[in-house]
Amino acid sequence: MDLIKKYDKPGPRYTSYPAYPHWQNGPLQEEWLHELAHHKDLRADLYIHIPYCQSLCTYCGCTRTISRNLDKGMDYTSYLLKEWQLYREALPNLSIQSLHLGGGTPTFLRPEYLKVLFEAISPLLSEDFSGAVEVDPRVTSERHIETLVEFGIGRFSLGIQDFDPHVQKAVNRTQPPKLVATTVDYIRSCGGSGINFDLIYGLPLQTQDSIHKTIQEVKKMRPDTIALYGYAHVPWRSKAQKSLERFHIPHGEEKRALYELSKKLLEEAGYFELGLDHFALKNSSLYQAYQKGEMKRNFMGYTKEVAPVTLGLGSSAISNTENSFIQNEKELEDYQKVLDKGHLPLSSGHRLTERDQKASQVIQSIMCKGEVDLQDYLELLCEKETLNHMGKLEEMERDGILELKDTELKVTAKGRPFMRNICMVFDEYLNQKSESKARFSRTI
């Protein structure tokens, strides 16, 4: 608990490095397309962002647009196809290795709109293609599931968050276990290859008793993987979260105790902890990737495969190569206006320096493997910087959260909750004066 008090501070989640608030000097459209066209390997993971939700979940910090008018999905699909066509024309050698539909709520799109979208993409799918989708059980029909599976979408991630009815009411996401179980059963009957549950600890009104009840329901449905995220209270970015402050919100030691209880119950049920806040059954593809040292971390969380290029379609979607990050216009209206002019709707980005790339490799290894050899990274630092880094790491070693042997760093079992803090040692942007403008959720 003393360590929680010491290390519970704001910090990036490190789904990318540098973190988004620190991006600068991103490529323009011509530079971006030139980089892609001359890429030695144009296999890509395709991410499609659907920003619409039919109702507002007040805990959510994602970019989304609330509407109950499903006809808007047809208009949005037409813009996705415009963006896709611009990439197809510029990149004739493009091949799609995987597809991830995220949101918002991807099943806001009617099945017929999804079908039109998939038919446009399917000619470029590789032989080993795999697909994943985030679904809201409250608005996902049997036809949705059938259409998704038909086009090779095998992995389904269900937004559960919590099964306690009092917590659900507080965060405006009521979905009884029976509804979720019906969705899970139908996905499996249609041939879905993997199911993930997203859970959140630290939500308003959560208690150890409510966590017990939630995990009991999870055990009955037995998803292949579980993402157990800490609630990120960022009302300066997501104004709806301000309404939650009328409830008791667990934080610090109390919040961490909810995670530790969840972890204990999940491990007793046969789940293994992977990386940070993720759990998997032994027969899952993610666990097998972790065992082989092939698990990766990106904007979509942990994954077993990462192509050399990620292409993001849709408002706020992010694309990247090993050299660059780039994001589309966040606001839906701006996204559409740029596409109407015949341009890619690019907004902000970042070109990675050699030092960025080395730091990214260090952070990726810590977050995915819990260990890293710092030799290559330290060679880029001056003597003063090296002493500063090693001083911070040696303090963490004294606290028992990591072990150092020459240039080899290993996160201890005690140090798992503090992986983000360990990564912060290698984040040079956190020490810049501009950091005062960047705000992050707390690390614990």
- Give the pLDDT confidence of 134-150 residue by residue, as tens digits: 999 999 999 999 999 99
Same domain, 175 and 132: yes
Out of 186-195, 205-214, 234-243, 270-279, pick the least confident: 234-243
Instruction: Give the model's confidence band at 304: pLDDT under 50 very low, under 70 low, under 90 confident, else very high.
Output: confident
Domain harbouring 130, CATH code: 3.80.30.20
Q: Are 401 and 3 in contact (CB under 8 A)?
A: yes
Closest CA to 202 of 21, 441, 20: 441
Q: Encode pLDDT of 340-355 as tens digits.
A: 999 999 999 999 999 9
Same domain, 2 and 36: no
Question: For residue 13, is it within any domain?
Answer: yes
Instruction: Give percent of the chain with pLDDT exceeding 70.
Output: 98
- Chain centre distance of CA 384: 35
Same domain, 14 and 34: no
Instruction: Give the model's confidence band at 62: pLDDT under 50 very low, under 70 low, under 90 confident, else very high.
Output: confident
Same domain, 295 and 411: no
| Cα gap 283→224, rounded to integer Å | 8
Grouping H, G, I as helix, E, B as strand and the rest as coil, residue 318 is: strand
Same domain, 10 and 146: no
Locus of tokens 């059938």: 146
Same domain, 74 and 12: no
Locus of tokens 């240039």: 407
Q: Is 244 exposed, middle or buried (0-12, 13-18, 19+ CB in 10 A)?
A: buried
Question: For residue 149, is it within any domain?
Answer: yes
Question: For residue 345, is it within any domain?
Answer: no
pLDDT of 435 higher than 60: no
Instruction: Give the model's confidence band at 438: pLDDT under 50 very low, under 70 low, under 90 confident, else very high.
Output: low
Q: Which of 258, 286, 312 is the last residue of a domain?
A: 312
Tokens of 404: 């150092």
pLDDT of 164 higher than 60: yes
Q: Which of 312, 330, 364 is the last residue of a domain?
A: 312
Question: For residue 287, is it within any domain?
Answer: yes
Same domain, 93 and 14: no
Q: Are 123 and 96 in contact (CB under 8 A)?
A: no
The reported pLDDT for the residue numbered 237 is 83
Cα dihedral 8, 11, 16, 18 sign:
negative
Question: For residue 320, is it within any domain?
Answer: no
pLDDT averaged over the chain? Answer: 93
Q: Encode pLDDT of 381-425 as tens digits.
A: 999 999 999 999 999 999 999 999 999 999 999 999 999 999 999
The reported pLDDT for the residue numbered 200 is 96
Same domain, 274 and 380: no
pLDDT of 437 higher than 70: no
| Cα gap 82→77, rounded to integer Å | 9
Instruction: Give percent of the chain with pLDDT exceeding 90.
Output: 84
Helix/strand/coil percentages in the chain, nearest 5 = 45, 25, 35
The residue range of the domain holding 434 is: 1-18+353-444
The reported pLDDT for the residue numbered 434 is 46
Same domain, 207 and 237: yes
Q: Which of 281, 312, 343 is the last residue of a domain?
A: 312
Same domain, 240 and 374: no
Question: For residue 317, is it within any domain?
Answer: no
Same domain, 63 and 186: yes
Domain harbouring 1, CATH code: 1.10.10.920
Out of 47-51, 57-61, 105-109, 180-184, pick the least confident: 57-61
61-87 CB burial, b ≥16 within 10 A, e <16: eebbbeeeeeebbeebbebbbbbbebb
The reported pLDDT for the residue numbered 405 is 96
Same domain, 274 and 394: no
| Cα gap 86→304, rounded to integer Å | 29
- Report the domain count for the chain: 2
